[in-house]
């Protein structure tokens, strides 16, 4: 294969004609209206403006994904915005409901801690053996209740597999955002042995959580405590915990993603990510490489944010189990050899159909979770700008 | 056969959109079903465990939880017991109460609680009652936790 042919970038593989893209966006226009409004139109003018802007933002990106065929480019804009919006809306919500972002013992006894999906791997063994959930939240009928989050996670795992990590997770956009700051990575060669680390962390936290009946990742290792809720520093132990949270956040979510251009927290540390990888086994969607078109340029493996492609997997025409279906490899392949795929169909089957059938459930979850956060944050910011207070 | 497999795969792929809608729109209903079906509860290490005795004082009540020594399998030596007083608005300024916590009529400790300042004092009558873990002003009640250690 000549260099000229290899480097020639072909048009996006599954770009739609404008009318077709618009028609395929119509179902999402209806569904996102339901997801964002929860069936009722807000009465406050600020909320209406925020809802309208969020609606345009979400559906505009969905249309652009179809029209240009560039899934990752527009997903990434959404994902990063949603993650930063999450910090604003979650923090403001805690301040409004609880009066503080600091978690104290009274909040724990009251079950006032919002449940997040990162806890799920840690609660399974204790739930099976003791029928109790080792998390200080509330089972039902409250913001981020335990059962509500578990149902959301189960649905998304069935529909998207580890696509959760690039479409639904409200933390992933943070390291994705920082990973995109530096055009050219300072460190590009990372030993693939590091990809075993999330599995080791997973094993460690599952065992220690079962033995101590407390979610040890949340207590000791979660970098996102730095920007969400955190324990009050009342002892040397809580001081050490806070130092660990801040250090891990700066290292794994900010600095290393900037200098490597990869999602280091998601790809090399997050135990939930390792756990979620298993769901790719039974999910109907995957990413496949057409070996007849592939020229082994390795752009995909070098660009994959979560280290989900290597030379061996490319030779097999598949991604690794850790693939988050972010679509970056599909976007950057110069030969259009990589595509969204439905398991059980031929690799040469319509890439358009597979991509569209994946994008609907993926974007429904993204809009419901991330869109809700964008809306929430926008309301807070508009209130702050117009009234001087977020509440 | 290959065509049939392909058609089935497309059907499952279409179904995923409905799975997404069901998880989001029926989330509250499914969550309640999940809790009922599994019978799970929040760990007593956080909630304080089940209330085993209620003492009515007229305008307010004392709720005595069961002692918590739970581990993954069996029980451990160190634990705690939680005592609540509710409703918050009707509590007297000072609460002074003897508590029997091990399921017999013997008083195991005495609690003095200042509901205004949230300061509590413990007097132990039982060597298995070790110390006061903390006193807490909750949303609708006040609570103390007392550290226990079984011999």
What is the pLDDT of chain B when averaged over all its residues?
94
Contact B6 A139 (CB under 8 A): no
Q: How far apart are CA A97 and CA A106, in angstroms?
A: 14
Closest CA to B85 of B42, B109, B120: B120
Q: How far apart are CA A184 and CA A199, in angstroms?
A: 29
pLDDT at B106: 86
Domain ranges of chain B: 2-38, 44-149
What is the mean predicted confidence (pLDDT) over A146-170? 97
Minimum-distance CB partner of A133 among B19, B40, B139? B40
Q: Is the pLDDT of residue A5 over 60?
A: no
Contact B40 A110 (CB under 8 A): no
B21-54 residue pLDDT tens? 999 999 999 999 999 999 999 999 999 999 999 9
Q: Which residues of A touch B43 (CB under 8 A)?
A: 126, 130, 132-135, 213
A74-127 residue pLDDT tens? 999 999 999 999 999 999 998 988 888 888 899 999 998 999 999 999 999 999
Closest CA to A124 of A215, A196, A199, A198: A215
Contact B30 A368 (CB under 8 A): no
Closest CA to A194 of A299, A250, A273: A273
pLDDT at A109: 94
Contact B9 A130 (CB under 8 A): no
A132-147 residue pLDDT tens? 999 999 999 888 899 9
Q: Is the pLDDT of residue A10 over 60?
A: no
Q: How confident is the model at residue A63 (pLDDT cuts 50, 70, 90)?
A: very high
pLDDT at A99: 84
What is the pLDDT of chain A when averaged over all its residues?
93
What is the mean predicted confidence (pLDDT) over A235-240? 94
Q: Is the pLDDT of residue A256 over 50?
A: yes
Residue of A nearest to B39 (CA): A131
Minimum-distance CB partner of A105 among B16, B73, B136? B136
Contact A268, A202 (CB under 8 A): no
Contact B35 A139 (CB under 8 A): yes
**Cis amide bond preceding B87, omega within 30:** yes
Taking only residues 270 to 289 of chain A, the set having a beta carbon closer than 8 angstroms to any beta carbon of chain B reads: 284-285
All structural domains of chain A, each given as residue ranges with its CATH number in brackets, are 14-94+350-391 (no CATH), 100-282 (no CATH), 284-349 (3.30.70.20)
What is the mean predicted confidence (pLDDT) over B56-79? 94
Q: How big is the A-B interface in CB pairs under 8 Å?
A: 157
What is the mean predicted confidence (pLDDT) over A290-312? 95
Residues B43, B48, B53, B56, CA torsion sign:
negative
pLDDT at A8: 52
pLDDT at A6: 47
Contact A38, A87 (CB under 8 A): no
């Amino acid at each position: 294969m000549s260099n000229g042919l290899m480097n020639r970038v072909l048009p996006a593989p599954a770009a739609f004609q404008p009318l077709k893209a618009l028609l395929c966006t119509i179902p999402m226009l209806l569904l996102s209206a339901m997801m964002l409004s929860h069936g009722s139109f807000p009465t406050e003018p600020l909320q209406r403006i925020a809802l309208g802007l969020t609606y345009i933002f979400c559906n505009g990106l969905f249309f652009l994904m179809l029209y240009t065929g560039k899934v990752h480019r527009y997903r990434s804009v959404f994902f990063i915005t949603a993650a930063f919006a999450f910090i604003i809306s979650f923090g403001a919500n805690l301040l409004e409901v609880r009066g503080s972002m600091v978690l104290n013992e009274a909040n724990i006894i009251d079950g006032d801690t919002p449940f997040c999906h990162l806890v799920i791997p840690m609660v399974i063994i204790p739930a099976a053996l003791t029928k109790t959930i080792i998390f200080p939240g509330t089972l039902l009928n409250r913001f981020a209740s335990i059962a509500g989050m578990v149902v959301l996670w189960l649905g998304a795992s069935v529909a998207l597999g580890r696509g959760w990590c690039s479409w639904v997770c409200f933390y992933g956009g943070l390291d994705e955002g920082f990973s995109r700051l530096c055009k050219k990575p300072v460190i590009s060669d990372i030993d693939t042995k590091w990809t075993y680390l999330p599995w080791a962390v997973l094993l460690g936290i599952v065992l220690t959580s079962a033995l101590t009946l407390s979610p040890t990742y949340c207590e000791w290792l979660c970098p996102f405590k730095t920007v969400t809720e955190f324990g009050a520093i009342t002892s040397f132990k809580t001081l050490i915990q806070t130092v660990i949270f801040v250090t891990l956040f700066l290292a794994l979510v900010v600095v290393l993603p900037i200098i490597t251009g990869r999602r280091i927290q998601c790809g090399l540390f997050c135990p939930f990510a390792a756990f979620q990888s298993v769901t790719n086994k039974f999910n109907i969607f995957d990413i496949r490489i057409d070996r007849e078109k592939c020229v082994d340029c390795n752009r995909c493996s070098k660009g994959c944010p979560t280290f989900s492609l290597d030379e061996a997997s490319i030779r097999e025409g598949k991604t690794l189990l850790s693939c988050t279906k972010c679509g970056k490899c599909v976007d950057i392949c110069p030969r259009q050899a990589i595509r969204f795929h439905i398991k059980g169909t031929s690799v040469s089957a319509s890439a358009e159909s597979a991509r569209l059938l994946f994008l609907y459930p993926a974007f429904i979850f993204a809009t419901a979770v991330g869109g809700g956060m964008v809306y929430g944050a926008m309301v807070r910011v508009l209130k702050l700008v117009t009234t001087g207070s977020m509440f | 056969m290959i065509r049939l497999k392909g058609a089935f795969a497309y059907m499952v792929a279409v179904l995923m959109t409905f799975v997404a809608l069901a998880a989001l729109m029926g989330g509250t209903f499914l969550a309640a079903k999940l809790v009922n079906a599994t019978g799970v509860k929040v760990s007593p290490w956080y909630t304080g465990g089940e209330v085993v005795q209620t003492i009515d004082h007229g305008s307010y009540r004392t709720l005595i939880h069961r002692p918590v020594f739970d581990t993954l399998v069996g029980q451990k030596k160190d634990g705690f017991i939680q005592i609540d007083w509710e409703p918050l608005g009707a509590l007297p300024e000072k609460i002074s109460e003897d508590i029997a916590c091990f399921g017999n009529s013997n008083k195991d400790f005495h609690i003095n609680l200042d509901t205004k300042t949230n300061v509590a004092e413990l007097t132990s009558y039982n060597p298995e009652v070790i110390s006061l873990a903390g006193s807490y002003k909750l949303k609708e009640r006040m609570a103390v936790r007392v550290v226990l250690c079984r011999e």
